[in-house]
Structure 1
Amino acid sequence: MNTVITIGRQFGSAGREIGEKVAAYFGIKCYDKELLSRAAKESGFCEEMLENHDERPTSSFLYNLVMDTYSFGYNASHFVDMPISHKVFLAQFDAIKKIASEGPCVIVGRCADYALNDLKNCVHIFIYGDEETKTKRIMGKYNVDAAKAKDMCIKKDKQRQSYYNYYSSKKWGRADSYDLCINSSVLGVEGTVKLLVQYVEDFEAKNQ
């Protein structure tokens, strides 16, 4: 096994769960929130700051400027021309590249496919789902009603989309941005995992 798998996903599509199961099948690590700890450790940012900007598009420049001065104290002058959200993105970007250079793994979200665009041993996947399945999953997971679950899906996906489209030169969720787009509602979680495992194994066999 030599492949790095990146997974973009709609909220409620079980993308993270699918990523974890694919990683478990191959006996490799899956990075989702773990990526933040790694980026925090290597960049010197506090993890809370990374979480606050995680997969969120850049917010008001003024707010970032104020936060910069506050966060970096006497160093503020060096950073003043770059909003904090950019720095957080770059910290994650570096962490993703480092993680991928260490060996096969699964990386969920955070423009990982864009960060690893030049890497040949990569498979870039996008997982989406139909509204009904996603709504039910979010209702169960967060104990909310259908209206709230739908609202959460719309908001979270908008956030991810603007983050991805802002920082990458590709379009979030569009087929030509990935190697494979799959509707997890059709086969369910286990069926989707099975299909992805097959895809990755065939990819490896072809590229040996």
Structure 2
Amino acid sequence: MNKVITISREYGAGGHTIGKRVAQELGIEIYDKDIVRETVRASGFETEVVQEEEEDVSKASTFLKSLCSSSVHYRDPQEVIHEVQTAVILQFAKKGPCVILGRCADDILRESGIETLNVFIHADDLHRAVRISEMTGITNATELQKLMAKKDSSRRNYYEHYTHKKWGDSHNYDLTLDSGKLGVDLCVQMIVEAAKAEE
């Protein structure tokens, strides 16, 4: 298996769990929080700033940043963080086969000519709500719905801002899997088989 696997995912669809299992099955590295750590080290920004900026592009913040950008001394922190993360993702991908979660990795590596297997994980609201409740301890259905919508909106806006492609559109991925219907085990198996088949 000589490709990099990228996994984009809806919040609560189990993408991290699936990615970790795929990496274990294939005996390769998985990069998620490592990207944050290296971005903090290389950019000088605090961890909280990187985590806040890395997957959140709202229309309001874009408007405010555009006003500030008229200053020759202003450098949008999110743009700086994205540039550093792009370099970090490329650095990890060039080390060899691995799994990279989110952060526009599919588009970054495609643009750089690095061979990838690009996966999108989604699920219905009920399965996602159950998983999120287990992760966060939140049990109120309205709160869970709001959290899903907020996280998905942040990921969608970030992806579409930097790639100019539609987040979750099957045309942008090699595999789109419904973890609610298929279950984690089958999703892992399908990704592993697809990765091996492309050798």
Whether the TM-score (by the shorter chain) exceeds 0.5 is yes
Structure 2 residue 109 is the aligned partner of structure 1 residue 103: no
Q: Which residue of 2 aligns with 1:161?
A: 156
- Compute the displacement of 1:165 (Å): 0.5
Residue 49 of structure 1 deviates from its aligned partner by 2.0
Partner AA of 1:27 in structure 2: G
Length-normalised TM-score, structure 1: 0.86
Aligned length in residues: 194
CA RMSD of aligned residues (A): 2.0
1:125 aligns with 2:116: no
Mapping of residues 13-92 of structure 1, within 5 Å: 13-57=13-57, 59-60=61-62, 62=64, 79-80=73-74, 82-92=75-85
Q: Deviations over 1:69-94 (max 9, x none)?
A: xxxxxxxx8751x3111111111111
TM superposition shift of 1:61: 5.2
Q: 1:65 offset after TM fit, Å?
A: 8.0
- Contact 2:56–2:157 (8 Å) recurs in 1: yes
* 3-state secondary structure, aligned to 1:87: helix
Read off the aligned partner of 1:103 and give its amino acid letter. Answer: G
Cα pair 1:40 1:91 within 8 Å, conserved? no
User: CA 1:20/1:190 → structure 2, altered by over 3 Å: closer, same or farther?
Assistant: same
CA separation in 2, counterparts of 1:79 and 1:194? Answer: 50
- Aligned residue in 2 for 1:71: none
| Match status 1:136 vs 2:130 | yes
Equivalent residues of 2:109, 2:115 under 8 A apart: no
Q: CA deviation at 1:41?
A: 1.8
Corresponding residue for residue 187 of structure 1 = 182
Aligned-partner SS, 2:151: helix
Q: Map Cα deviations across residues 163-200 of structure 1 (whole Å, 9 max, x no partner).
A: 10011121100011111111011121111101111111
Amino acid at match of 1:136: V
| Percentage identity across paired residues of the two chains | 36
User: Quick check: 1:127–1:182 contact (8 Å CA) kept in 2?
Assistant: yes
**Residue 178 of structure 1 is aligned with which of 168, 173, 176?**
173
Aligned residue type for 2:88 = A
Q: Which residue among 194, 197, 200 is the counterpart of 2:195?
A: 200
* 5+ residue gaps, structure 1: 69-76
Structure 2 residue runs of 5 or longer lacking an equivalent are none
Displacement of 1:42 after TM fit? 2.5
8 Å Cα contact 2:119/2:173 also seen in 1:
yes
Measured in 2, the distance between the counterparts of 1:199 and 1:12 equals 23
Per-residue CA deviation, residues 94-152 of structure 1 (Å, 9 max, x unaligned), is 11111111111100001000110143421111000011111111112211122221221
